[in-house]
């Protein structure tokens, strides 16, 4: 069983943020399905819509593999390839853990359709051989204030 990864206070309010689009849902005793979000097996919280979109972009071989992994296929009639996208899309949130353990192959982050900010930072640090404190030191030495830094960032994006 997976634990709920959200902001919880004594009032039992909960909040989830989609790691793809930034949509936030919050409410009393809110669970992922109420927020129309799901968590993949690698811990990414994503709107269900994004996972369904990912299903629509999967090759037929992957759809067959996902379908064959569903536990209760024995009672199903033969599903033809033309129906696999809709069947898989309808059933990806089924199972013991429901919205809390969705397969990585339907997660847009796990499939590199989207990149989270933290993964972006980790990749930059890894490929440039630097760490956050080095970058912070460089920023502190180049800019006297945050507004000056932001002006430089904006200027670099207009080039």
Q: Closest Cα to residue 104, out of 53, 48, 61, 43?
A: 43
Segments making up each domain of the chain, as ranges: 13-106, 117-157
Question: What is the spatial distance between Cα 145 and Cα 78, in angstroms, rounded to a whole number?
Answer: 65
Structural contact between residues 32 and 100, judged by C-beta atoms closer than 8 angstroms: yes
pTM: 0.75
Helix or strand or coil: residue 1? coil
pLDDT in tens, 128-138: 998 889 999 99
Non-local CB neighbours of 115 within 8 Å, separated by 6+ positions: 109, 123
Structural contact between residues 51 and 38, judged by C-beta atoms closer than 8 angstroms: yes
pLDDT in tens, 63-96: 988 888 877 666 566 778 888 888 888 888 765 5
């Amino acid at each position: 069983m997976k634990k709920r990864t959200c902001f919880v206070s004594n009032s039992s309010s909960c909040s989830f943020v989609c790691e793809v689009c930034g949509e936030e849902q919050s409410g009393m005793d809110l669970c992922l399905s109420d927020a129309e979000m799901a968590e993949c097996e690698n811990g990414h919280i994503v709107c269900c819509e994004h996972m369904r979109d990912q299903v629509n972009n999967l090759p037929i071989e992957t759809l067959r593999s996902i379908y064959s992994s569903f536990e209760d296929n024995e009672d199903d009639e033969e599903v033809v390839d033309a129906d696999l996208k809709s069947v898989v899309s309808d059933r990806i949130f089924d199972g013991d853990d429901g919205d809390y353990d969705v397969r990585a192959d339907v997660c847009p982050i796990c499939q590199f359709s989207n990149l989270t900010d933290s993964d972006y930072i980790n990749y930059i640090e890894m490929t440039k051989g630097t760490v956050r404190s080095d970058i912070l030191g460089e920023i502190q030495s180049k800019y006297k204030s945050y507004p000056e830094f932001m002006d430089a960032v904006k200027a670099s994006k207009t080039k």
